[in-house]
Chains A and B, each alone.
Chain A
Amino acid sequence: MDSQRDRAGRFLLWKAGLSRRDVMKALLSLAFASSGVAFAAKPHDSAGWILAPGDR
């Protein structure tokens, strides 16, 4: 049975018009960014968002 947290997560995904894949990419990007791994060479490392310096 789904936990309340799972259901809330799915609701947020639906509300944002996102797929699970989108979120995984975003979370991975965040993880890489916070760990300092060089992942910013490509402009589209943020689930396709073209970011400005200082966005993250």
Chain B
Amino acid sequence: MLRQLAELGGDEEFDCCVIGTGPAGICCALQLAVAGKKVAVLEGGSEEYSRESQDAYAGTMSGDLYRGLTSTRLRFFGGTSNHWNGWCRPLESWDFEKKSAADTEWPIRREDLDPYLQAATDILELPRIPADRPMGDSGLFQFDFVWAPPYQNLSSYFPVRFLQKYFNIFVAHNYLHLFLNTNLLSLETDGRKVTGARVGDFGELRQTIRARSYVLATGGIENSRLLLWSNQLAKGELVRNASTLGRYWMEHPHYTLGYGFIATSVMDNTESSQRRRLYLAPSRESIQQHRILNMGLRVDRPRDKQQEIVENFALVAPEAGQRALQDFNEGRVKAFLLRGAWEQEPTATNRVSLTSEADSLGIPRVNLHWQKTELDRRTARVSAEMFGNYIAKKNLGRLRLGTWLTDDLDFPTDDNLGGNHHMGGTRMASSPEFGIVDRNSQVFGQQNLFIAGSSVFPSGGQANPTMTIVQLSLRLGDYLASRI
């Protein structure tokens, strides 16, 4: 039901207060409501975009060039699902393990999330994920993302928008108490448990919401920001060991790694993929052998300059190039762009921190520091080489690596840069020394405070995060429903 903050009684208590209505908050709240729990659901924005709400996302950035803090997320009901592209795939089992020398291990395993795969698939309205196929002895395997199918008679596909799918359900449901334009100002604690969520609208109205448990689900930057601020107000009593708070923030770097040409028969093998691209990832053994992180290679068809790509090859290998040009003209090979979206090395220096400037609610704005490492570069180069070496050895095509990889130049600035995937900052860990939440997403030292969303990811794998966010949130909802 839709509630008004002004009408909230001082003695009203909820079983749970879920803060945020992106996929994480919605899935967790639904799970609790289905279990018969009375849930307060807080959304800082309303049911549509407003500049006033979105402005709370403004901040500064440092480090490598990155996309804007306001353009990569949305602050109204449904959150960033209102403009996401719908790419889905669960993490691999080895994404939960330690890779290379990087700090990538989760305190849970894929088996802990598998029970929620079918429910997540239903929520996101996804088809079955095709089985992975090894690519010869390349050390790579071919995989697929899945998307919600296109609507009948429309060529465009529409990923699930949580606003359209769930807003009316939240308004109608008796156990879901939805408060719009209700911003979390701080979480109050007695040192062992959260005693209230201080909230306010964009005017003068201020209230405290009481609940038996609290779930912070405000996104991969805001979760860190609001915890940092609340912890500052609570003089460190909310997150006692805050050494990792806001840190180990990650993206999936997205860059073009090279271009080349490849046998048409190989590209035609991608028909099972809805986007007609070839998706490749290093096997677990390859990741271990080459001491790299996970990588999603996308062999994509360029929009133009296809023949020029093959002609470029003819410049360095004239005879082989002439044969390739003939194959190209007769349709036996096609030009491709090799793009990569990979697992970024989690490092403590990549972080969300508070600045001295506050938003209209009085909450400090963030600075996001983001830099890629040598391991990131090596992951990109080694993965691309695995692909290039294989297609050359099998005479299936040739790859030309980008000069930024071969000549160790800076990362390009005129590329996608990232996938708008905000991860880390309140990472899941086995002890408070290494993270903010435990294996059940409970904040260490607080009996009733939990975090939902990709901010708990200790590492990001190469798959887009929404599927994992939904799985984790359903798991958290289940866990809370059994406790309260």
Per the bound structure, the CA–CA distance linking A22 and B407 in Å amounts to 12
Q: For this complex, into which size category does the number of interface residues on chain A fall?
A: 20 to 34
- Chain B min CB distance to A45 (Å): 9
User: How many interface contacts (CB-CB < 8 Å) are there between A and B?
Assistant: 71
Chain B residues within 8 Å of A52, by CB: 320, 392-393, 395, 398
Chain A residues within 8 Å of B315, by CB: 16, 18, 23, 26, 47
Most buried by B among A16, A17, A49: A49
B395 and chain A: residue at smallest CB distance? A52
Q: In the complex the two chains form, is A44's CB within 8 Å of B320's CB?
A: no
Binary flags per residue of B389-411, CB closer than 8 Å to A gives 1, else 0: 10011010011111101100000
Interface residue from B305, B316, B405 paired with A49 (Cβ < 8 Å): B316
Chain B residues within 8 Å of A55, by CB: 317, 320, 392, 398
Per the bound structure, the CA–CA distance linking A30 and B313 in Å amounts to 12
Known A-B contacts A17-B308, A44-B401; the reply to A29 vs B316 at CB < 8 A is yes
A1-54 interface (Cβ within 8 A of B): 15-18, 22-23, 26, 29-30, 43-44, 46-52, 54
How many B residues, CB 8 Å from partner?
Answer: 28
Chain B residues within 8 Å of A26, by CB: 315-316
Q: In the complex the two chains form, is B389's CB within 8 Å of A50's CB?
A: yes
Known A-B contacts A44-B406, A56-B320; the reply to A49 vs B308 at CB < 8 A is no
Per the bound structure, the CA–CA distance linking A11 and B258 in Å amounts to 23
Q: In the complex the two chains form, is A46's CB within 8 Å of B316's CB?
A: yes
B103-136 interface (Cβ within 8 A of A): none
Q: In the complex the two chains form, is B385's CB within 8 Å of A49's CB?
A: no
- Chain A min CB distance to B102 (Å): 25
Per the bound structure, the CA–CA distance linking A17 and B304 in Å amounts to 11
Q: In the complex the two chains form, is B312's CB within 8 Å of A56's CB?
A: no
Per the bound structure, the CA–CA distance linking A18 and B314 in Å amounts to 13
Some 21 contacts from A to B, beta carbons below 8 A apart, are: A16-B308, A16-B311, A17-B308, A17-B309, A17-B312, A30-B316, A43-B389, A44-B401, A46-B316, A46-B317, A47-B315, A47-B316, A48-B258, A48-B401, A48-B405, A50-B385, A50-B389, A51-B320, A52-B320, A52-B392, A55-B317
Residues of A that sit less than 8 Å from B by CB: 15-18, 22-23, 26, 29-30, 43-44, 46-52, 54-56
Top 6 nearest A-B pairs (CB, nearest first) are A50-B388, A52-B392, A55-B317, A46-B316, A55-B320, A48-B401
